[in-house]
């Protein structure tokens, strides 16, 4: 048993045996005495101690935690003694080093031993992969690290970031064993020179590395900077190349072994780096001035942003680690649920879905060994993601190389098996087969047939339903079951693995399911089902809301939407469905002169000063049968005239192409006008003649217009009336009402006359309201944006204007409450 003494060498604690400690103390005392006469001797000694700590650390391993006297002797032989470089003859000093370098106790390759590749954990930046490869190739680790960066950037290959370098590094990380006893590579290393630097010391360091004139290197950087790449290369090297801060690193810049003699020589050479002839030329100073200015800016920004960048890098590392753990965990959970479903351990397959395909049918169609191979092909990357995420958080890698190699082998085997299984399973989809099933429902005595739909919980199995007419008396439903297989007979057998429920609820109602279902133990083979409903000629049909919403567009060949199909009565005529309750009752051509006369027939009721609809509306006239309504909602770019009448009436005039896309329907007392096929901008074309829509109704309480509609409204005297306008609408209106509410937005324009006891006006955007002939008793006017309004108020006006809005008023207003902001004005018109 020996007594151990703890030694602190530049912040690193080592346990040294007592006899070794005595030898080490004498060695360090001699070094301190010798270098005490040098300027900056404390830095020199500290650097030597750092080098000693590095050598001691390389001697330690899990089975050896104490520095022995033999280790100290090997250190002295490797570093040399003070007396070695006090000799007059330099050859003897070099001979002494040569002897010491061959007798050190670092890791040495035995004669005949095969050279092996390790990860150098003593000189690592991340995992020691680059340092280990550099040791194997006897080169500077910097070049290997730059090579990995080059593979990650991948500019010549992919034009952007690639994962090839990252994947290669991770594979090496897993595959290569670590080694803490690799000898230091005695090669010249590239550092940035802090002594003779002009910007970051890059050019000076490169000049020392290649033994070139530093002025030539700097001139090359300036030339390349003119062509746009020099500055980028300089910044990349500035970031990637370390600075030679210590004397040891300055020795390594020269490619010399790190011994006391080489350290002394480096100290002597760097005491006076300049002489009388070392001044730069005027041209060099001019060329380097912008670079030096950038250097100062970068230095200041580096000092200011260093804490922020450090925090951001830490945050990115933590977030990336957590994301990888979450992603890997989610993938692993899904894979375990899928495996349990495939093996029958979990009966509730709704927890795991294969798109819209039922999970049980999918896994029944795949061999078990393919499922297991797919599981391992997915679970191993999931585990790798979790381990990488944990490694990023803990800043260390936890998997052993043997385990890593085993996982990689299992994954490759699983991928090969999975690909083979997919190729074999794909043969089961090479042929197509089908069979049909016909069901008949008596309907000879029924005037109307109701078709209903039952909603199921199955996402897969959407139906394709067609309705045709035929000369018969009964309803016939023809079901065509389809599937794929390795031959036609097998495909037909696979098609029989699905079922569809179709029942007659009563004499006049037939209920359809919204999807087919897979039978027990069915296998997925791209099954499908087409349904054709044959309806006798002249038979009337009503569709439930669910049936119409799912199949309405298809069964009418795209002429009607689901809500139109559900709200109306239909009849089979000449093999097609015809709407009985929504059909056009008049469809005749109209010439331009007749149209113009119709358009202007009632203009005097509005007033010539408000006339805005005076276009030519030639083409086709259609009259629609509608129910009672007192509200109108319209969107598009139409011309709409709304007038008071004894009847509910809608007539349109225009070209056939646009009339076919026009949708007019009455629903719950609201007349709705829209256009099929997108926004009104497709209709807004100055080269096309507009469509005129004439609307008559006894009572009107609300109008909502959007898009680019032009409208005339006149003849109404309701108790309450609301007008909403948005977009680029334009309205001319004559109305008498007690309570009038106007809401405008966008670039809407309104001209109005008549009377109102109370008016509420809200406008935003760039709206314009001209109402000098609308006599109101009280008015609340709120304008924002760049809107303009002229109103006529007899008693009380509450005016609120913001933005660049202006409110003018006429009349004998007794009280005006103003709220003006942002350059707006509220004033009486003179």
Q: Which pLDDT value is given to residue 102? A: 41
3-state secondary structure of 31: helix
CA pair distance 218, 205, nearest whole angstrom:
11
Other C-beta atoms within 10 Å of 129: how many?
27
Q: DSSP code of 354?
A: B
Q: Which residues pair with 438 in a beta bridge?
A: 478
List the domains of the chain with CATH numbers.
4-103 (no CATH), 111-183 (no CATH), 319-423 (no CATH), 431-579 (no CATH), 583-716 (2.160.20.120), 721-830 (2.160.20.120)
CA-based R_g, the chain, Å: 45
Q: Determine phi and psi for 390, rounding to 5 degrees.
A: -65, -40
675: Cα separation from own chain's centroid: 33
Say what the pTM is. 0.44
Other C-beta atoms within 10 Å of 497: how many?
20
CA pair distance 514, 656, nearest whole angstrom:
36
Q: Which pLDDT value is given to residue 760? A: 96
Task: Return the closest-CA partner of residue 104 out of 136, 75, 80.
Answer: 75
* Burial class for 64, CB neighbours closer than 10 Å (0-12, 13-18, 19+): exposed
Q: Which pLDDT value is given to residue 89? A: 40
Q: Which pLDDT value is given to residue 86? A: 52
Asked if residues 774 and 790 have their Cβ atoms less than 8 Å apart, the reply is no
Mean pLDDT by 10 residues, the chain (830 residues): 76 80 80 70 75 76 78 75 54 42 43 66 75 79 75 52 68 77 68 71 77 73 70 73 66 55 54 46 58 64 69 80 88 84 60 61 80 87 85 73 79 88 85 90 86 77 81 90 90 89 85 86 87 89 83 70 76 82 56 39 57 78 84 93 90 84 86 72 55 93 94 94 95 95 95 95 94 95 94 95 93 91 88
Other C-beta atoms within 10 Å of 462: how many?
13
Q: Which pLDDT value is given to residue 561? A: 64
* Burial class for 737, CB neighbours closer than 10 Å (0-12, 13-18, 19+): buried
CA pair distance 107, 354, nearest whole angstrom:
56
The three-state (H, E, C) secondary structure of 149-211, written as one string: HHHHHCHHHHCCCCCHHHHHHHHHHHHCCEECCCCCCCCCCCCECCCCCCCCCHHHHHHHHHC
409: Cα separation from own chain's centroid: 34
Q: Which residues pair with 452 in a beta bridge?
A: 511
Q: How far is CA 398 from CA 135, 163, 390, in A?
A: 24, 22, 9
Which residues lie below 8 Å from residue 698, measured CB to CB, with a gap of 6+?
644, 645, 646, 647, 648
């Amino acid at each position: 048993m020996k007594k151990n003494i703890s030694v602190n060498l530049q912040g690193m604690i080592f346990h040294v045996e007592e006899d070794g400690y005595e030898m080490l103390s004498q060695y360090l005392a001699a070094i301190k005495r010798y270098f005490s006469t040098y300027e900056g001797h404390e830095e020199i000694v500290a650097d030597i101690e750092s080098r000693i700590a590095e050598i001691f650390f390389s001697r330690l391993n899990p089975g050896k935690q104490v520095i022995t006297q033999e280790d100290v002797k090997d250190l002295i032989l490797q570093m040399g003694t003070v007396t070695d470089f006090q000799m007059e003859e330099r050859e003897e000093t070099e001979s002494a080093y040569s002897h010491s370098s061959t007798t050190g106790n670092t890791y040495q390759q035995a004669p005949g031993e095969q050279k092996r590749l390790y990860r150098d954990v003593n000189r690592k930046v991340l995992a020691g992969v680059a340092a280990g490869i550099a040791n194997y190739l006897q080169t500077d680790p910097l070049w290997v690290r730059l090579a990995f960066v080059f593979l990650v950037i991948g500019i010549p290959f992919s034009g952007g970031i690639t994962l090839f370098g990252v994947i290669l590094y991770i594979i090496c990380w897993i595959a290569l064993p670590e080694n803490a006893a690799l000898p230091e590579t005695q090669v010249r290393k590239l550092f940035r020179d802090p002594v003779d630097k002009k910007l970051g010391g890059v050019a000076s360091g490169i000049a020392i590395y290649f033994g070139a004139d530093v002025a030539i290197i700097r001139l090359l950087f300036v030339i390349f900077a003119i062509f746009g790449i020099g500055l980028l290369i300089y910044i990349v090297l500035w970031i990637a190349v370390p600075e030679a801060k210590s004397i040891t690193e300055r020795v390594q810049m020269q490619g010399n072994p790190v011994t006391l003699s080489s350290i002394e020589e480096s100290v002597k050479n760097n005491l006076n780096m300049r002489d009388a002839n070392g001044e730069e030329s005027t041209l060099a100073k001019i060329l380097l001035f912008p670079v030096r200015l950038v250097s100062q800016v970068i230095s200041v920004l580096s000092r200011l942003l260093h804490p922020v960048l450090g925090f951001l890098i830490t945050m990115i590392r933590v977030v990336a680690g957590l994301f990888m753990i979450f992603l890997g965990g989610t993938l692993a959970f899904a894979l375990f649920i899928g495996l349990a479903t495939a093996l029958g351990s979990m009966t509730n397959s709704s927890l795991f879905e294969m798109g819209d395909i039922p999970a049980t049918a999918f896994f029944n169609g795949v061999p078990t060994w393919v499922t297991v191979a797919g599981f391992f092909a997915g679970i191993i990357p999931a585990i790798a993601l979790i381990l990488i995420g944990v490694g990023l958080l803990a800043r260390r890698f936890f998997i052993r190389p043997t385990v890593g190699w085993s996982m990689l082998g299992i994954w490759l085997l699983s991928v090969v098996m999975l690909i083979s299984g997919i190729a074999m399973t794909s043969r089961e989809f090479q042929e197509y087969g089908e069979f049909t099933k016909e069901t008949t429902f008596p309907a000879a005595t029924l005037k109307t047939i109701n078709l209903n739909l039952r909603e199921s919980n199955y996402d897969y199995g959407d139906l394709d339903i067609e309705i045709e007419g035929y000369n018969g008396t009964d309803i016939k439903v023809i079901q065509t079951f389809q599937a794929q297989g390795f031959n036609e007979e097998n495909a037909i057998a696979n098609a029989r693995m699905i079922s569809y429920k179709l029942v007659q609820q009563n004499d006049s109602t037939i209920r359809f399911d919204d999807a087919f279902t897979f039978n027990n133990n069915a296998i997925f083979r791209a099954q499908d089902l087409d349904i054709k409903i044959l309806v006798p000629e002249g038979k009337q049909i009503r569709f439930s809301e669910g049936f119409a919403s799912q199949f309405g567009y298809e069964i009418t060949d795209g002429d009607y939407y689901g809500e139109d199909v559900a709200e109306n009565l239909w009849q089979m005529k000449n093999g097609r469905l015809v709407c009985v309750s929504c059909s056009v009752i008049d469809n005749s051509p109209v010439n331009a002169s007749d149209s113009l006369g119709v358009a202007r027939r009632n203009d005097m009721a509005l007033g010539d000063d408000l006339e805005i609809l005076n276009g030519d509306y030639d083409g086709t006239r259609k009259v629609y049968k509608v129910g009672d309504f007192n509200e109108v909602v319209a969107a598009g770019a139409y011309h709409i005239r709304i007038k008071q009448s004894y009847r509910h009436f809608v007539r349109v005039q225009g070209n056939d192409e646009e009339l076919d896309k026009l949708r007019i329907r009455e629903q719950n007392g609201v007349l709705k006008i829209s256009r099929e096929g997108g926004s009104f901008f497709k209709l807004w074309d100055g080269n096309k003649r507009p469509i005129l829509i004439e609307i008559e109704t006894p009572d009107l309480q609300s109008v909502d217009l959007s898009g680019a509609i032009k409208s005339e409204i006149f003849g109404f005297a309701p108790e309450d009336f609301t007008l909403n306008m948005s977009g680029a609408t334009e309205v001319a209106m004559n109305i008498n009402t007690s309570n009038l509410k106007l809401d405008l937005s966008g670039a809407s324009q309104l001209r109005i006359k008549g009377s109102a006891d109370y008016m509420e006006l809200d406008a935003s955007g760039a709206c314009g309201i001209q109402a000098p002939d609308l006599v109101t008793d009280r008015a609340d006017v709120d304008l924002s944006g760049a809107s303009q309004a002229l109103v006529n108020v007899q008693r009380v006006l509450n005016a609120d204007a913001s933005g660049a809005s202006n409110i003018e008023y006429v009349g004998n207003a007794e009280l005006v409450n103003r709220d003006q902001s942002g350059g707006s004005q509220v004033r009486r018109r003179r």
